[in-house]
Structure 1
Amino acid sequence: MKTKTIIIAVLGIVLYSCSPKIVPQEQPEKVVAVKEIPVDAIKKEAPEEGASYLMLSPELAEGKDLYENNCAKCHELYNPKKFTAEQWTPILIDMQKNTDLTDEQRIKVYNYVTMK
């Protein structure tokens, strides 16, 4: 019985050592092109000192446009940060009745004022 166990163990070791080795292939390094922009060009496009710019997604930009062009017709624009997301929901639903905004447009305005 000992002999069979030793033979099986040796046979397993031989088979394992003779099996083909898998070598991972190296992925080529990705090269990213970087365009240098002169400092003078950046200064020309930079906002005035003290101004801040926020890049908006197309949907948020559309919501901002809808907010500014529809809500300002009747009253001054509220600072979006003045109200919480929960407070904006009934405000927008109520104000939608005074405009031609669709539900989809109201949601875009909501996403803008709550920045979602």
Structure 2
Amino acid sequence: MIPDEAYDRNDIATIVVTGTVYGDTWVLDAIPTHLPPEKVKAIGTIEVMGVAGEADLVLKAAHAWLSTSVLDANLGLAHYETLNDRYGPNEAPYFTGAKALIDRHTRITDDEDVNEPQDG
């Protein structure tokens, strides 16, 4: 899932979720940071249909997707932050973003709450 090089010395990987809407379909990619440019690529992509103009709702779907993915990989989702407030009024309807911190040594169990999305 996440390349070893994406983890820092504390075994935390920063994942940026970026999304763009096409018609009424959002396409979101999860991209690890801290990689050499030639190794940067999406580690996952989702499409959310029928919610044009609903950037915050789309990021909730991305949060659920990441939460399930890290749980399945026996990792921990340490933090998830919405970055939508960084888009201006002209860009906000078309772009969405979030930042997630993945901890490779802390497993979050099914009965623990994974962070709800936090506003930036």
TM bin, normalised by shorter chain, reads: under 0.3
Question: Which structure: greater helix fraction?
Answer: 1
Normalising by the residue count of structure 2, what TM-score does the alignment of the two structures yield?
0.25
Normalising by the residue count of structure 1, what TM-score does the alignment of the two structures yield?
0.26
Question: Which structure: greater strand fraction?
Answer: 2
